[in-house]
Structure 1
Amino acid sequence: MNNWGPSAQRLVPPIQGTALLGWAGPLAVAIFGGLLRFLRLGEPKALVFDETYYAKDAYSLIVHGVERTMLGDAKNPIADRRLLAGNLDVFKQCAQPADCASFVAHPPLGKWMIAAGEWLFGMTPFGWRFAAALVGTLSILVMARVARRMTRSTLLGCLAGLLLALDGLHLVLSRTALLDGFLMFWVLAGFACLVADRDWARRRLADRHDTSPVSTLGPRLGLRPWRLAAGFCLGAACAVKWSGIFFLLAFAVLSLMWDAGARRALGLREPYRGALAHDGPGALGAMTLVPAAAFVASWTGWFATAGGWGRNWDQATSQGPFFFVFDSVRSWLQYQIQVLGFHSNLQDYHEYMSEPWQWPLLVRPVPFYYQGTKNACGGQDCTQAVYGVGTPALWYAAALALIALIVWYVSSRDWRAGATLLAFAVGWLPWFYYAIADNRTMYLFYMIPVVPFMVLALTLCAGLVLGRRDAGPTRRAVGAAGAGALALVVLVNFWWLSPVLTGETVTHAQWWARMLLNSWVGVAPK
C-alpha cells in the first residue's frame, strides 16, 4: 500500500503486481529478445546495405573525430574488402585534413554509438553491429515498462515487450549498423520518460493541492527530472536523424496537454491557464534548450577538429577565441543548410524504394543482403538473405488495432489511445508530404520508429479484450486466451520468417516460400 493522499490515488491509479515482478517480467522478456539479437550477430560476414557508409563513418569518428573519405564506396567497394580482411588502413591520403572531409547527410550521434561497439570489439561485423543489438534489446525493456505503466498491468507490459521482440523489422535493424534503430530507441525512450513524468507530475500536483492553499491555477510543481530526461532523449533522436524533430514537437505539445488535463481532473477552475503559467516555462526549457544542447553536443568532434566538412578551421582560428566561436557556428549552420538541401532533393531511384502508404501492408521490404550459391545445398541452390520486413501477423493485427484505437479515442477521449495514435501519426504521416511534394526516395524501414507504438496499440486493445480486474472470470479467461492466441500466431509467423531475417543459409526453395508477396522480389512496383 502507498501513503499517497486521496487526490493522488484518484489521479494516479496503482499498478497491479509488485515492483519486483514489474522488473523481473520485463527483464526476462528483454533477455529473450537479446538472445535473438546477439546470436550469430556477426552473420552475414559482410557490409550489408548502408552499413557500407555508417560502419566506415563510425570508424572514422574513432580515428579522426569526424567522418572522412575512404578508399572505396558502395559502387567501388575497395574499403569493404580491406575492412573484412582486417586491413584498417582504408583512409585516403590527403595533404590537408579538409581535403578528405566527407559530406554526410545525418547528424553524428548514431555513428558515435556504432563506433562504441567498434572500439570495444574491433572493426568486425560483430563490432559494428553490437550497439544496434544492445539498444534493440534495451528498447524491448523500455517497451515493456512503458506499456506496464500505461496499462497498470505487468502482464500486458510483458506482452508488449514480447511482441516487439518478435517483430521482424525490429530484429533486422537490431542486427544491422543502420541509424534507424537508434532513432527508434531514443524516440521510445523519450516517450517513456514523458509517461513517467505524467505520473510523477500528477502525484506531486495532487499532494501539493491537498496541502497548500487552493487557487484557481493550482500549485507549481518545481523541477521535473523525467521531463528533462525526455528532452535529452528526444534531442538525441534528432542527433541521430533529423526526422526526430517530428516526435519532439508532438511530444512537447502532448506533455503540456497532459498537464492541463491533470489540473482539470483535480477540479481547478483554470486548468489551461495554470498549465501555461506554471508548467509552460519548465516545459519550454526541457523541450527546447535540453534537446538543442544534446543535438549540438553530438557535433563535438566536428567543432574540435579541423577535418570536418565545411569546417574552415584555418579561417576560424585566425583572429582569436571570439571569432573562433562565431565563425565555427556560422560554418556549422551553413553545413546544416546543405544537409537540408540534400534531403529535399533526394530523388534517386532504387529498386526497393516504396511509398509510405504501402508500408503498413509490407508491400515492398528491403533486402539488406542476398547471396545465392549454385548447387551448394545437397545439389540444390542455396540462398543467404536478410530482409528488412516486419512480422506480417503483427503488422496486420496492429493496423486493425490502430483503427480500433481511433474509435476508442473518439468515444472516450482515453489519453492512452490518443498518445499512441499521435506518436504513430507523427512518425508516419509526414512522409506522405515528402512522397507527394518531393517524390523522395524512401524505404519501408523508415517505419521503425513507430513500430513500438503499433505494438502499444495492440497491447491496449488486448487490455480492452481482457477487461478490468473486477470483470467476471469468463471474460478474463476469454480475453487471456485471445491475447495468448495473438502472441502465439506472431511467434509462429516470426519463427517461419526468421531464416530470411538473420541471414541463415537455406535452399532457394525455402527462401522463395517465405516471400509473402511477389512484390517482395523483382522489379519495384510503380
Structure 2
Amino acid sequence: MTVEVPQTVRGRLATVGREPMSWLPTLFVVLLGAVLRLANLGHPNRKIFDEVYYATEAHELLTYGIEWRPENNAGDYVVHPPLGKWCIAVGEWAFGYNTFGWRISSVVAGVVSILLLVRIGRRLFRSTVLGCAAGLLLALDGLHFVLSRSALLDIFLMLFVLAAFGCVVLDRDQRRRRALDSYGALRLGFPWWRIGVAFFLGCACSVKLSGAFFIPAIILIMLIWEVGMRRAVGGTRMGGLRNVTVWTAAMGVLVLAVYLASWTGWFATDRGWNRHGLAIAGKDEPFLVGALRNLVDYHIAVYTYHTGLGDPHAYQSWPWQWLLMGRPVLFEWVENTGCDADRCVTTVLLLGNPVLWWSFVPALAALVWFGIAQRDKRAGVLGLMVAAGLLPWFWYHYDGGRTMYVFYALPALPYLILAVLYVLGSILRPPDRRMVGAVALGAYVLLVAACFAYLHPIYVGESIPYDAWWDRLFLGRRWV
C-alpha cells in the first residue's frame, strides 16, 4: 500500500535532481582552474618555502619507503604523517624529481577540490549557478591557487576534508530519498556514504593531525541532518541519536585503520625514527604491540614539538588576522633584470584574493542572522565547518603563542565561500529579485576575477617592475 507523502514533508526533504547538462558548466569551471594552475608550473625552478622539507621528504619516501636522511644514515624525524608526502611522491615518481614533478600532485588536488565544491554547492543550494559560482571563486582565490602550485601539505588536507564533507552531503540526500520512498515504514538501508566519510577523514588526519579538528563537526552535522530527516517523516529524535552514535563508533575504527595504514612504510622497515625505541632503551618490544607503542611515543614527541613551537618567523600570523589577510607569506623573492625597468622583482606571495577574503567577515555575521531567522540547518552546518577550521587555532594561540601561518586557514576556505553564496542567495531569493540577484552575483564574481588577474604576477613569480609590484601591495608593509 502506497502512503501519500505530505507536500510539506517533500519540501523539507527535497534533494537536487539529476541534470546531466549541469556537468557542462561544471567542467568549464574545472578546466579554467586546471589551465590557470598548470601554466608554467615549473617556475620558479627551485624549491620555494617549505618545499625544501616536503618535496625532499617525498623523495625520501619514494627512495627508501620512509623519511630517511642518508647523510646521517638514520631515520628522519618528521612532525607530520606520511600521506601528504606520499601524494607529492606520486608526482615525483611520474615526472621526476623536479619542480613540475613535486608540484603536479598539488595541482591535481586543487583541481579536484574545485570540482567537488561545484557539486557540493549545487546539492546544498539546489542550484547549478550557485554551485559553479562556488567553484569559480575557489579557482580564483590566491591562497588556494598558490598552494595548488606548491609542494606543501595543506592542499591535500583541504581536499580530503572537503571529500569527507561531500560524502556527508551525499549521505543526507540518499537517506532523504529513501525516507520519502518508504514513507510510513522508514526503511533507510545501509548508509554506504558514511564509509567514504570515515575513509576521507582518516586520509585528512594522515596528511596533518589537524584534520582531526573536523571530526566532531562532521559527526554533529550527521546528527543534525539525521534527526531532522527522521522528525520530518514521523520518526523519533532518539532514533537518530542512536543511529549516529553507532555509526560514529564504527567510523572511528575505520578512521584509525586508515591512519595506521598511512604509516605502513614506517612499520615495514627497521630504520624509521623511533621504530625500535623500546628496544634501544633496553625494554621488551613485543611484536606489533611494541611497534604500536613506539608509534605512540613518536606521536607524543610530535605533539610536544607542535605545542612548544614558538620560534618567531617574519611571516607568521595569528588566527584573527587570517580572514583579514593581515599577514600573507612570501614564498619567493628575487631581484632581477627580467623586465623593462631598472629594478625588477620576482615574487610568489601566498595571499588570498582580498575581494573574496574581506567579504568573509560580513558574510559570517549574516550567516548567523539568516540561519536563525530562517531556521535553516545549512547555515549551522557551514558555520560548524568554518569553526572547525579556525577556532582550534585560537586556542593554540592563546595557550602558548604557537607559531602559525595563514595557510592553516585553507581547509576552512570552501565553507567560507559557501557561506558567502548562502548569504547572497538569502538576500536575493525572492522571485522579484532574481534578475537583480543574477546581476549582483555576476558583478561580485567579476570583481573577484579582476582582482585575481591584477595580482596574478605576484602569485606566479612573474618578473615585473618594482613599482608595479609595490602597487599590488594594498596593505603596504604588512604584506611583505
TM-score by length of 2: 0.95
Are 1:220 and 1:279, in contact at CA under 8 Å, matched by a contact in 2? no
Distance change >3 Å, CA 314–CA 330, structure 1 → 2: closer
Query: Which residue in 2 is equivalent to 1:349?
Result: 312
Separation in 2 of the partners of 1:172 and 1:305? 35
* Cross-structure match for 2:53: 53
Flag structure 1 segments of 5+ consecutive residues without an equivalent.
70-90, 95-99, 213-218
- Aligned position for 1:450: 412
Do structure 1's residue 104 and structure 2's residue 88 form an aligned pair?
no
Deviations 1:31-82 (A, max 9, x none): 110111111111111100000000000000011111012xxxxxxxxxxxxx
Aligned counterparts of 1:284 and 1:30: Cα–Cα separation in 2: 36
Tell me how far apart the structure 2 counterparts of residues 152 and 319 of structure 1 sit (CA, whole Å): 60
- Structure 2 CA distance for partners of 1:410 and 1:329, relative to 1, 3 Å: same
From 267, 288, 294, the equivalent of 1:331 is: 294
> Which one-letter code corresponds to 2:247 in the other structure?
G
Deviation string, structure 1 residues 116-142 (Cα, Å, up to 9, x no partner): 000000000000001100010000000
* Alpha-carbon distance in structure 1 between the residues aligned to 2:243 and 2:75: 47
2:190 is paired with a residue whose SS is coil
1:306 and 2:306 equivalent?
A: no
Q: Tell me the alpha carbon deviations over residues 149-178 of structure 1, each in whole angstroms, 9 at most, x when there is no partner.
A: 000011111111101100000000000000
Alpha-carbon shift at residue 228 of structure 1 (Å): 1.1
Using the size of structure 1 for normalisation, the TM-score is: 0.87
Give the Cα separation in 2 of the matches to 1:356 and 1:315.
Answer: 42
Q: Is the 8 A contact 1:385 1:504 kept in 2?
A: yes
SS at match of 2:343: strand
SS in 2 for 1:377: coil
The total of aligned residue pairs comes to 476
Query: Aligned partners of 1:116 and 1:206: how far apart in 2?
Result: 44
In 1, the alpha carbon distance for the partners of 2:238 and 2:134 equals: 36
| Residues 1:6 and 2:1 are matched in the alignment | no
Partner of 1:20: 20
Aligned partner (choices 69, 84, 92) of residue 71 of structure 2 = 92
The equivalent residue for 2:141 is 167
8 Å contact kept, 1:4–1:207: no
The whole-number CA distance in structure 1 between the counterparts of 2:377 and 2:175 is 15
Q: Which residue of 1 aligns with 2:114?
A: 140
Q: How far did residue 521 of structure 1 move?
A: 4.3
How far does the alpha carbon of each residue in 1:91-138 deviate from its partner, in whole angstroms, 9 at most, with x for none? 3263xxxxx111100011000000000000000000000110001000
Match of 1:88 in 2: none
Give yes or no for the alignment of 1:239 onto 2:202.
no
CA 1:445–1:319 in structure 2 vs 1: closer, same or farther (change >3 Å)? closer
Instruction: Write the distance in 1 (CA, Å) between the matches of 2:323 and 2:453.
Output: 20
Partner residue of 1:477? 435
Residues 190/28 of structure 1: CA separation in 2 closer, same or farther (3 Å cut): same
Q: 1:370 offset after TM fit, Å?
A: 0.9
Q: Residue in 2 aligned with 1:273?
A: 238
Q: CA deviation at 1:220?
A: 5.8
* 3-state SS in 2 of match to 1:169: helix
Change (3 A) 1:411 1:11: closer
Question: Residue 418 of structure 1 aligns with which residue?
Answer: 380
Indicate the residue corresponding to 1:177 in structure 2: 151
State the partner residue of 1:512.
470
Tell me the residue number matched to 1:430. 392
Choose which of 216, 221, 225 in structure 2 pairs with 1:258. Answer: 225
CA contact (8 A) 2:178 2:187 kept: no
Identity across matched positions, percent: 42
Q: Distance between the aligned counterparts of 2:206 and 2:335, measured in 1?
A: 37
2: CA distance between counterparts of 1:276 and 1:13? 22
Matches within 5 A, 1:23-42: 23-42=23-42
RMSD: 2.1
Of 162, 169, 174, which residue of structure 2 is paired with 1:195? 169
* Letter aligned with residue 131 of structure 1: S
**Partners of 1:300 and 1:340 in 2: how far apart?**
21
In structure 2, relative to structure 1, the CA distance for the partners of 1:199 and 1:4 (3 Å cut) is farther
Secondary structure of the corresponding residue to residue 346 of structure 2: strand
Tell me, yes or no, if the aligned pair for 1:235 and 1:292 is still in contact at 8 Å.
yes
Gaps of 5+ in 2: none
How many Å separate the matches in 1 of 2:15 and 2:245? 27
Q: CA offset at residue 465 of structure 1?
A: 3.4
In the TM superposition, residue 6 of structure 1 has moved relative to its aligned partner by 3.1
- Decide which moves more: 415-424 or 306-315: 306-315
For residue 361 of structure 1, give the secondary structure of its aligned residue in structure 2. coil
Q: Are the equivalent residues in 2 in contact too, given 1:235–1:248 (CA < 8 A)?
A: no
Deviation at 1:225, TM superposition (A): 1.2
Please give the alpha-carbon distance, in whole angstroms, between the structure 2 residues aligned to 1:376 and 1:179.
31
Q: Which one-letter code corresponds to 2:334 in the other structure?
A: Q
